[in-house]
Amino acid sequence: MKNLLDELQQAAALRATRRHFLHTCSTGLGAMALGSTLAGCGFFDKSSDQPNSVGATLQSGEPSAPHPSQYVPKAKRVIYIHMAGSPSQLELFDYKPELAKYNGKDCPQELLTGKKFAFIRGVPKMLGPQGKFAQHGQSGAWISDYLPHLQGVADDITFLKGMHTDQFNHAPAQLLMHTGSARLGRPSLGSWVTYGLGTENDNLPGYIVLASGGKQPDAGKSVWGSGFLPTVYQGVQCRTDGDPVLYASDPSGISRDVRKNTIDAISEINQQQYDDVKDPEILTRIAQYELAFRMQMSVPDAMDIKSEPQYILDSYGVDPNKGSFARNCLLARRLVERGVRFVQLFDWGWDTHGTSASGSIDIGLKTKCQESDQAVAALLKDLKQRGLLDDTLVVWGGEFGRTPMQENRDGQVLPFMGRDHHLDAFTVWMAGGGVKKGFSFGETDDIGYYAVKDKVHIHDLQATILHLLGFDHTKLTYQFQGRPFRLTDVAGKIVKPILV
Amino acid sequence: MKAQWLFIGFIGIAGALLLPSFLGIFEKKVDYNTQIKPLLNKNCIACHGGVKKASGFSLLFRHEAVAPAKSGKPAIIPGDADASEMIRRLTLTDPDERMPLDHPPLKPEEIDLLRKWIDQGAEWGNHWAYQSVTKPDLPRIGTFLSRLGVTVNDETDWAKNEIDHFILDKLKQDGLKPSPEADRATLIRRVSLDLTGLPPTEQDVTDFVNDKSPKAYENVVDKLLQSPAYGERWTGMWLDLARYADTKGYERDPGRKIWRYRDWLINAFNQDKPFDQFTVEQLAGDLLPPRTDGLPDDDQLIATGFHRNTMNNDEGGTQDEEFRISAVLDRVNTTWDVWQGTTFSCVQCHSHPYDPFVNEEYYKFVAFFNNTRDEDVTSETPTLRFYKPADSLKIVDLKQYIQHSAGNPKQAKAVVSQVTQLIRTVEPKINSHDFDQYVNASLLDAKYFGFQDKGSVRIKDVTLTGRPRLLIRWGTKATDASVTLHLDKLDGPVLAKFPTPKPGKDTVQMIPLPSIQGKHSLYMYLDSPKMPKDWVQIKWVAFTPILPGQPQQAVGEKDKELLAILNAEAEQTPIMLDGTGDLARKTHVFDRGNWLVKGKQVTPDVPKSFPAMDPKLPKNRLGMARWMVSREHPLTARVAVNRFWEQLYGTGIVETVEDMGTQGIPPTHRELLDYLAAEFMETDHWSVKKLLKKMVMSATYRQDSKASPELLAKDPFNKLMARGPRVRLSAEAVRDQALAVSGLLSHKMFGPSVMPVQPDGIWQSPYDGDTWKQSKGEDLHRRALYTYWKRTAPYPSMVTFDSPSREFCQLRRLRTNTPLQALVTLNDPVYVEAAKNLATYMQQHGASPANQIQAGFRRIMLRDLPAKKLNVLVQLYKTTEQHYRQKPGEAENLFDQPGLDCSIITPQLAALTVTANTMLNLDEVITKE
């Protein structure tokens, strides 16, 4: 095993060096970073200190070079669609005809004793499913009429219906979902993946975040932060209005040629500075300036969907002049096509308590589904048609589930139908990159209160995603505060039954 | 002889070998803090701690651990490891029984250690940071003679002050040597950026380099400490802790005017207000003894803005009480975060998982803060009001009138005090959201009370003794309506009948009432037959004494003067103010942190793990604040010293500045921390300037920041400090430096926040349509700390350089290094403008390109560029000049701005601009070296 790892490290090092060399000759940028690599800043011998192959190239000032996985991966990239606020599984996927029978009845005391809800107080009423359910595709997947387009791609999807979590407020639950910890400060899933795999495209960040729905997720930038990992692994948020990345445009009167010369000069002087003071941050800075220069071209290009044919725009339902979730789905495809490792989508507005029409499961949830359903289905079809779905993992879900009871905030009847946050059961689905097609895993009880069979915890989901990308989640670690840290902390079991 | 010695030696050795194994008395005592607590935290406490007590067994406190568990017997029997269930469970082989469950077993040596500890009595220790600070002895350095100054020695020669003794001692243990002092240009730039957030001027550097006196460096430091920019720089740091912003936060995030608090900070730092006083004024300035008229000075009230920086939720439909509580809890958590380096917020819902605090203690501490008058009201009341000069004169007149007209001096003082408080803060008053028993009435937009024709409402339990005046702030569109005020019942005796105010803006009115004794509920009934559907909205009511010499049954002349003042426009800043009498609040434990489920009532107190409050201290916020800065308190000084250290050195002595508890990272130099903390409290009487001076005067601080490969390998993060700090500048300093070196920086201090150039589309304010109104003139180039801070959309370039959003207190900014930062300093119009200005300067200060570039670089870095680097820039300049010669249109585009004289736009100036832009992006420029 040790030998295998060593071999992988060597391969990574050689590839990085060779790629680096070619890259240097073709662009003239990064020449100085190469110099330092060859001058022996401990590329090979240092790497043996690392618990695994990743991180070896950290020493080279080229930390985003692609690395081989720890073992053969099924997926090379991820599109993670997070519906911030958490959609109701009971209206969409987890069909509970029994629950309908109890509609309007008081919730039994045993479901409430010892439980803590975000808003439910006293004894709430049970609330039957609002969607009309039917089975779809060869696999017979239950999907409600809220998601007509998704019904058409049911046979590409694996549903995880026995998901459960520990956190019932948005920000901590989102942090747990994306960083493995409900507290601030841990690296996000996308950071771990780019740390482990590097990027396949030198001109784009390896980890890009797109947000829609008018607001950032509740937990803010921390859900794509790099925590204690080097900051080069943090997600880069692209905007859908104005400059896709702030200040990506050169100032008026400074042409690309001039800008290139300035970057070359900055890198050259910074390299001299590095030679003098040996602060490794300088190498990162050199790499970041070069990436910034390339991003100035490649990001606007990748984000410019006007070059897409009309039929593609139509299939996603995209208005090219407006930022939207649908547009972000199309952008996600364009980005993974260009070798971005991890595309994180956040869509805000799925928190359906029943306090307002837009925050209800009978009106608001339907609207959110209408705004997103076509685009998500189109994304899967588009990826499939391009042969990308085989090695791209698509994940869809919220941060927790919703209660089978109708919310009674402050013990009062709310004007609209809504459900409170729920820890014990929700649905996440995955498609592509190494997961079964047309499969359902996990079950909840008759009223959808508890996951009862084939339960999957957040850490299990994370372990499985890393596994599909070719990582043993217990070995993808980073030394911090005197001990190795990992995404799944001390937990996580791979959900093997869903793997191809 | 020899044999005798051998014999004695033998006995000695035998004794040494045998005694411990027989008696165990020389066995080394296991240390709970360093040896046991980490093991328990890592392996046990997640299930057997403050959150979960699996099987009724908790290891958080000794009394819990030795008490019978669910099984009926204790898991730890002090003195008898073999009989202790804990040890048995650690050593079992059956995976269902063996602890830690579902985790790898403990190592044999770890179990041995636990066994030994139990055998020795299973004593709990107090975490080092919870023990009072004692001043440690200085480690000795050098030789006996060199310490006396008789001989020369590297160590004594290097050390400048006490800090260096501790650092050197540790370095020796690790086989390292300190680095030499940085060159003077680098050193003065470092210390200027650290103390003032600005680079020095070239004149400062020349003076320093030419100052041959041994006090040259000290002179520089003293000058920097006296500079007004000093206060601005440290205010910048404190604003993160105070979660200062110019908006209220939450979804609507509308504007808030609290910049006077920011200005108070600048003055406090500049005046070197001792840190204990600085603390007391911010936490409890409103409770300090009044100077003349019932309340402390404006300054001490403004200081309490620290805790009025909590968010306020103006969203419709939100309950004021919920967000009032959320602000109170944030104050508690922030107080602990900032002054105690302790994550107290965990204790809101359960006992602390790792540190020795129980749930109820949290609420006892909440009780200190729970009594303030702010109630998430949209107007942000209570506020301190600043009147226009003419109104201020009227106030003086009114006060003089009261003094002369009151029956006796004591009475005069009481009335003046009460009237002044009313004028300055409009308190005490009852906010209308506290009314109840609505009929035909509503809490409009969940903010203020309103009623319609035939509507009524109750004002509950008001003490009326000696308060025969009702003040009411209200407004309506209805005309010809009137209100009757009933005593005790809706159909009770009528105390007053009065018309609603004229349609238009809200006004404060005064209604004379009959004299009534005792506490009563009052009922208001609205008669509005003409416009029955129009709301009559009430903001607040207050019951006040009568001014001397005024008629009982009518509004007199002086009453009218008072009303005119209360209705005058005044600027305001939010402050803390405690409720008294009817308005005092009780505190209960919230069950599992849920504010709706009230448990046991509690009174204010501090956690038991800390020294108790001096009985002479009042059990209120003021007493709590004084307790926090008492000499015995173990954390306040340590946490403060550690924070200032982190600001200068890049990393704290305890790296986790936010957590000195058992989960924090242990200090690298604990004795140094304690030494500095003791000096800070005792010798320096909490003087921050003296503390900072001590730090920057040390040889440790003055070291060159270059790292040899060996040193880098041995100490990559410079924890041992064998070299000087080398860290990227803060968001504020990156910007301020660019403005300063290009000559754009405005040194204007204080006042409302400003709006420099910002890209479109950053602010999304769907509700109030707030827009970014770009400032004019010098306000475009103020220091970064004056930039308007909107919580939901902070100034983007600052965030890119790791400023927090300031929704909650942020104790430590993690430094990042991303391509987005490069885009800011390359392309943000602010930096392009700085480059243009610098280019003009360069053009005027050199004949050749090389000279011009040198002049520009000297302006930024205060030293010459080495030839090799200069060469790179000269080449860049030449290529670029060539480029602009061929494409003069591009040069014009670069300088395209209205009113600019086109003749000055030359390929040379354009090329110098590009070169300046390049220099402002160099690693060494955005780094403190």
Which residues, in sequence order, are bridge partners of residue A428?
A160
How many interface pairs between A and B have CB atoms less than 8 angstroms apart?
Answer: 164
Q: Half-sphere exposure of B10 toward its Cβ, with a 13 Å CA cutoff? A: 6
The answer to whether A246 touches B759, Cβ cutoff 8 Å, is yes
B710 in A contact zone (CB under 8 Å): no
Domain boundary among B88, B105, B122: B122
In a shared domain, residues B529 and B617: no
B763 in A contact zone (CB under 8 Å): no
To the nearest whole angstrom, how far is the Cα of A260 from the nearest Cα of chain B? Answer: 10
Domain boundary among B122, B157, B174: B122
Residue B910 lies in a domain: yes
User: Which pLDDT band holds residue A9 (cuts at 50, 70, 90)?
Assistant: very low
- What is the tens place of the pLDDT at every residue in A200-245? 887 888 899 998 887 777 766 778 887 777 767 888 888 776 678 8
More confident: A65 or A326:
A326
Chain A CA closest to residue B318: A355
pLDDT at A231: 67
Residue A344: give the domain boundaries: 77-242+314-498
**Which residues in chain A are contacts of B829 at CB distance < 8 A?**
251
**Is A252 a residue whose pLDDT tops 60?**
yes
What is the arithmetic mean of pLDDT over A430-448? 95
A414 in B contact zone (CB under 8 Å): no
Residue B306 lies in a domain: yes
In a shared domain, residues B61 and B1: no
pLDDT at A17: 33
The verdict on a CB contact (< 8 Å) between B829 and A490 is no
Phi, psi of A229 (to 5 degrees): -70, 155
pLDDT at B897: 72
Tokens describing residue B905: 């736009």
Chain A CA closest to residue B766: A214
User: Which pLDDT band holds residue A75 (cuts at 50, 70, 90)?
Assistant: very high
pLDDT at B882: 94
DSSP state, residue B92: -
pLDDT at B351: 56
More confident: A247 or B146:
A247
Look up residue B354 and give its amino acid.
Y
A211 in B contact zone (CB under 8 Å): no
**Mutation choice for B interface testing from A50, A285, A295, A457 by most B CBs within 10 A:** A285
Residue A378 lies in a domain: yes
Residues 279-338, chain B: which have Cβ within 8 Å of A?
Answer: 317, 319
Q: Half-sphere exposure of B705 toward its Cβ, with a 13 Å CA cutoff? A: 23
ipTM exceeding the 0.90 mark: no
Residues 91-130, chain A: which have Cβ within 8 Å of B?
Answer: 116, 121
pLDDT at B348: 60
CA atoms of B867 and B850, how far apart (whole Å): 10
Give the total number of structural domains in chain B: 5
Chain B CA closest to residue A40: B709
Measuring CA to CA, how many Å separate B810 from each of A219, B239, B243, B461?
A: 14, 9, 7, 41
Tokens describing residue B385: 């009001």
**Is A38 a residue whose pLDDT tops 80?**
no
Give the total number of structural domains in chain A: 1
In a shared domain, residues B539 and B440: yes
Task: Give which of A342, A56, A388, A396 is closest to A192, Cα–Cα.
Answer: A342
Tokens 């009563």 sit on residue: B520
What is the arithmetic mean of pLDDT over A489-493? 89
To the nearest whole angstrom, how far is the Cα of B403 from the nearest Cα of chain A? Answer: 51
pLDDT at A27: 28
What is the arithmetic mean of pLDDT over A92-105? 94
Domain boundary among B57, B88, B122: B122
Residue B477: give the domain boundaries: 434-547
Residue A40 lies in a domain: no
Tokens 């859908």 sit on residue: A240
The answer to whether B543 touches B461, Cβ cutoff 8 Å, is no
To the nearest whole angstrom, how far is the Cα of B466 from the nearest Cα of chain A? Answer: 39
CA atoms of B86 and B93, how far apart (whole Å): 14
Residues 48-77, chain A: which have Cβ within 8 Å of B?
Answer: none
pLDDT at A52: 35
Strands B536-544 and B448-463: antiparallel
**Mutation choice for A interface testing from B917, B923, B928 by most A CBs within 10 A:** B923
- What is the tens place of the pLDDT at every residue in A304-324? 888 899 999 999 999 887 888
In a shared domain, residues B597 and B503: no
- What is the tens place of the pLDDT at every residue in A334-354? 999 999 999 999 999 999 999
Residue B538 lies in a domain: yes
In a shared domain, residues B448 and B540: yes
The answer to whether B701 touches B648, Cβ cutoff 8 Å, is yes
Query: What's the mean per-residue pLDDT of chain A?
Result: 82
Residue A67 lies in a domain: no
The CATH number of the domain holding residue B448 is 2.60.120.260
Residue A41 lies in a domain: no
**Which residues in chain A are contacts of B827 at CB distance < 8 A?**
247-251
The verdict on a CB contact (< 8 Å) between B761 and A490 is no
**Which residues in chain A are contacts of B707 at CB distance < 8 A?**
277-279
The verdict on a CB contact (< 8 Å) between B892 and A236 is no
Task: Give which of A455, A363, A495, A450 is closest to A96, Cα–Cα.
Answer: A450
Residue A11 lies in a domain: no
Task: Give which of B34, B55, B36 is closest to B101, Cα–Cα.
Answer: B55
Residue A270 lies in a domain: no
In a shared domain, residues B76 and B8: no
User: Which pLDDT band holds residue A32 (cuts at 50, 70, 90)?
Assistant: very low
B819 in A contact zone (CB under 8 Å): yes
Residue B540 lies in a domain: yes
The partner residue sitting opposite B880, judged by closest CB among A220, A258, A296, is A258
The verdict on a CB contact (< 8 Å) between A246 and B800 is yes
What's the predicted TM-score (pTM) here? Answer: 0.79
Residue B837 lies in a domain: yes
Task: Give which of B625, B629, B650, B649 is closest to B640, Cα–Cα.
Answer: B629
Give mean pLDDT in consecutive 10-residue pieces for chain B, a chain of 929 residues: 49 47 57 78 75 75 78 82 84 82 83 85 79 90 75 82 93 90 93 96 91 93 97 94 85 84 97 97 94 83 94 71 85 90 66 66 90 89 94 92 85 87 92 91 83 94 92 94 95 94 93 94 95 93 92 92 94 93 86 73 89 94 96 94 93 84 80 95 96 96 90 85 91 94 95 89 61 89 93 79 70 74 91 94 94 95 94 96 91 80 85 96 94
Kind plus residue range of the DSSP H or E element containing A396: strand A392-397
The CATH number of the domain holding residue A136 is 3.40.720
The answer to whether A373 touches A317, Cβ cutoff 8 Å, is no
Residue A255 lies in a domain: no
Residue A212 lies in a domain: yes
The verdict on a CB contact (< 8 Å) between B890 and A241 is no
